[in-house]
Amino acid sequence: MNPAQASGWVGELAQQHLDAAYNLGRWLLGNEHDAADAVHDAYLRAERAAQTYAGGNARSWWLAIVRNCCLARLSMRKRETHLHSVDGAAAAQGLNSEVEERVNAAQCNTLLAGHLRALPAEFRETLVLREIEDLSYREIADVLGVPIGTVMSRLARGRALLQKSLGASPAQEIGHGM
């Protein structure tokens, strides 16, 4: 495949599965800005990796790259918070991002979204790929780079956790209502 063909192909792939990529980014990173940046990074990385694409499910390949870019941002974010934590300005920034998180939370303000957001990332991403993006076990395994058995156990654990938190909270809500 020559570079011209390769670039056209990756661009189309990215556009075709842009919502899936952005959605995964949002659920991993929590806000619009970071998710969009991560998807943009992912596109550039995919172009560079296009030559080495060895066939197989293209959507999984693309989402795996998106996920890696998200994880890279997450670990960068963690490092930054750590470095700046003694700094007063950073504390204000931290507060800002907290406000931002709350605004985002309000936009997607369902009980379920809150519980899904509260899940540990490994369960959250597996559930998002299965239930929202409708990927098969095989595809999820490819995106996450884990065996199918791991996908199944994460789904089971994630669903159980969600059911548990949903089972616990509606009762409280009703209590408040009355």
Partner 1 sequence: MECKNAQNMLEAYLDGELDRDAARALEAHVDACAACREALSGLDELRRALRAGGLRHIAPAALRERIALAAAAQRPPHRRAPGSTWLRYAAACLLAFGAGGVSVHMWNSAQGADSALSHDIFAGHWRALAAATPVDVVSSDRHTVKPWFAGKLAQAPLVQDFAEQGFALVGGRLDYLGAERVAVLVYRHGQHLVDVFVLPAAANLAAASEQQGYRLQPVRLGNQPAAIVSDMDAQEFSRFVTLLGNAR
User: Taking CB under 8 A as the rule, does residue 103 contact partner 1?
Assistant: no
The two tokens of residue 39 are 């998807």
Residues 116/129, Cβ–Cβ less than 8 Å? no
Q: Which of residues 113-132 bind partner 1 (CB under 8 A)?
A: 113, 116, 127-128, 130-132
How many residues make contact with partner 1 (CB under 8 A)? 43
Using alpha carbons only, give the angle 94, 64, 37 rounded to the nearest 5 degrees: 40
In a 10 Å sphere around its CB, with 0-12 CB exposed, 13-18 middle and 19+ buried, how is residue 72 labelled?
Answer: middle
Q: Which is nearer to partner 1, 95 or 112 (CB)?
A: 112
Q: Interacting stretch for partner 1, rule CB under 8 A, among 73-81, 92-100, 153-161, 169-177?
A: 153-161
Using CB under 8 A, which of the segments 40-48, 52-60, 73-81, 89-97 binds partner 1?
40-48
Residues 42-61 contacting partner 1, CB under 8 A: 43-44, 47
Number of H helices, E strands in the chain: 9, 0
Q: Minimum distance between the CB of residue 76 and partner 1, rounded to whole angstroms? A: 20
Q: How many CB atoms lie within 10 A of CB 121?
A: 12
Stretch that binds partner 1, among 55-63, 75-83, 118-126, 151-159 (CB under 8 A): 151-159
d(CA 9, CA 18): 14
- Contact with partner 1 (CB under 8 A) among 87, 166, 168, 170: 166
The encoded tokens of residue 17 equal 């599965």
Burial (0-12, 13-18, 19+ Cβ within 10 Å), 150: middle
Q: Which residues of the shown chain bind partner 1 in the complex (CB under 8 A)?
A: 3-4, 7-8, 10-11, 14-15, 18-19, 21-23, 26-27, 32, 35-36, 39-40, 43-44, 47, 108, 110, 112-113, 116, 127-128, 130-133, 136-137, 152, 155-156, 159, 162-163, 166
